[in-house]
Structure formats: structure tokens, C-alpha cells
Amino acid sequence: MPSNDARILLQAVVPTAIAGVIAAIVSGVVAGGKGALGAVIGTVVVIVFMGLGQVVLQRTAKSLPQLFQAMGLMLYVAQLLLLLIFVGVFKDTTLFNPKAFAVTLVAATVVWMAAQARAHMKAKIFYIDPDSAQDSDHSKNGDKPEKSGSSS
């Protein structure tokens, strides 16, 4: 994974984990041990789902760049639907507090997306690599670059 991708992933994971810790503390105070457990499980589910989605999106961008935008939109919709399914499946569980789980799931997802958007805005990523485009044009012709404009 290139350093920009790893940095963006890390900048989304850390705030989400911090939000999860805060949610676990609040849920523990409000709903006891089962509330804290629900918050921890919700945070882990979000980090795993969103992290795997980010890795899949990065690999798609490298292998099939023409599908990047469509894949990104489809991936986010699929992730949100899967998270909704998780809330529905575990709504009647007795293993942990389902309300703490659901609230943490939503809050951690919002924190992840906000942190990821911030990381992308702060990243200095070239859209076009100027050196590779110039090098490939000259290597085809075997010529040196021509000067454009007047020589005076």
C-alpha cells in the first residue's frame, strides 16, 4: 500500500477508534457493561468494514481507474446497507446492548467519513504525474524535447 493510501487510512482509523473509546465510556456509564461491549463491537465493525472498503477502492483505482468513481459510490452504498443489516440482525440480542451498538455504529461511520474526507482534502496527491507523461512522449520518438516559442 503506497504511503499516501496508508496515511489516509490511518487518518480515518485513529479518529474512529477515539470516537469508539468515548462511545464505550458513555455507553458503559449509561447502560453498564453490555452497553460498553455494544459500543466496542460497533466500533470494530465500522473500522473493519470501512477499512476493507478503502483497501478495495485503492486496488480498484490502481487496476481499473476508469471504474474508480462508480466503484466508490457503489462501495459506500453497499457499506451503509451492510451496516443497516447489522443493526437489524442484532436488534434483539442479549449479548450486548443493541441501542449502544446502533448509536455507536452510526456515530463511528460519520466520524470515519468525515475523517476520510478531511484526509483526502489535506493530502497533496498529483492527479497527473508530469514526469511520466513527458518521459513517455519522448521515449516513443526517441527525440529530445523541442523548444516551443521564439529563440530570441
Q: How big is the CA angle at 64 (ends 63 and 69), to the nearest 5 degrees?
A: 130
In the prediction, which pLDDT does 95 show? 84
Residue 5: CA atoms inside 13 Å, Cβ hemisphere, count? Answer: 14
pLDDT of residue 79: 85
Task: List average pLDDT for each run of 10 residues in the chain, which is 152 residues long.
Answer: 71 92 94 92 92 85 81 86 84 86 91 88 67 54 54 54
pLDDT for res 128: 65
pLDDT value of position 66: 81
Residue 26 CA to residue 28 CA, distance in Å, equals 5
Burial zone of 97 (CB within 10 Å; 0-12 exposed, 13-18 middle, 19+ buried): buried
**Amino acid 15: pLDDT:** 94
What per-residue confidence (pLDDT) applies to 111?
94
Q: Annotate 37-89 with three-state secondary structure.
A: HHHHHHHHHHHHHHHHHHHHHHHHHHHCHHHHHHHHHHHHHHHHHHHHHHHHH
Tens-place pLDDT, residues 46-63 = 999 888 888 888 888 788
| pLDDT value for 141 | 55
What is the reported pLDDT for 62? 81
Query: Cell digits for 79?
Result: 457499506
